Amino acid sequence: MMTSFSSGMTLLIKWFFLMGLMLAFASLTMAGELPQDELKLHAEQWELARNGEKLLQVPVLNKVVNTWLLKEGYRIELQYPGGEEGELWVDELMDWLISLGIPSKYLVAVRGSGEADIIKFKITKAEGSYR
Residues 110 and 59 reside in one and the same domain:
yes
Residues 65 and 94 reside in one and the same domain:
yes
Answer yes or no: is 130 within a domain: no
Q: Which structural domain, as residue segments, surrounds residue 120? A: 33-125
**Burial of 122 from C-beta contacts in 10 A (0-12 / 13-18 / 19+):** middle
- Structure confidence at residue 8 (pLDDT): 56
Residues 46 and 1 reside in one and the same domain:
no
Residues 96 and 116 reside in one and the same domain:
yes
Instruction: Please state the φ and ψ torsions of residue 101, each to the nearest 5 degrees.
Output: 110, 5
Evaluate if residue 77 carries a pLDDT over 90.
yes
pLDDT in tens, 29-69: 444 444 555 699 999 888 877 777 788 889 999 999 999 99
- Structure confidence at residue 36 (pLDDT): 52
Residues 65 and 101 reside in one and the same domain:
yes
Residues 99 and 62 reside in one and the same domain:
yes
18-27, 79-88, 93-102, 105-114: least confidently modelled range: 18-27
What's the predicted TM-score (pTM) here? 0.68
Evaluate if residue 18 carries a pLDDT over 70.
no
Q: What's the rounded Cα separation, in Å, for the pair 33 and 2?
A: 45
Residues 37 and 86 reside in one and the same domain:
yes
Instruction: Please state the φ and ψ torsions of residue 85, each to the nearest 5 degrees.
Output: -65, -40
Q: Which long-range contacts (CB under 8 A, 24 or more apart) does 87-91 make?
A: 87/111, 89/43, 89/46, 89/119, 90/119
With CA atoms as reference, report the closest residue to 74 among 118, 100, 108, 23.
108
With CA atoms as reference, report the closest residue to 121 among 41, 54, 51.
41
Residues 8 and 60 reside in one and the same domain:
no
Averaged pLDDT, 115-128 = 88
Contact 34, 123 (CB under 8 A): yes
Query: Residue 19's CB: how many other CB atoms inside 10 A?
Result: 10
Residues 11 and 37 reside in one and the same domain:
no
- Structure confidence at residue 24 (pLDDT): 44
With CA atoms as reference, report the closest residue to 126 among 76, 78, 75.
75
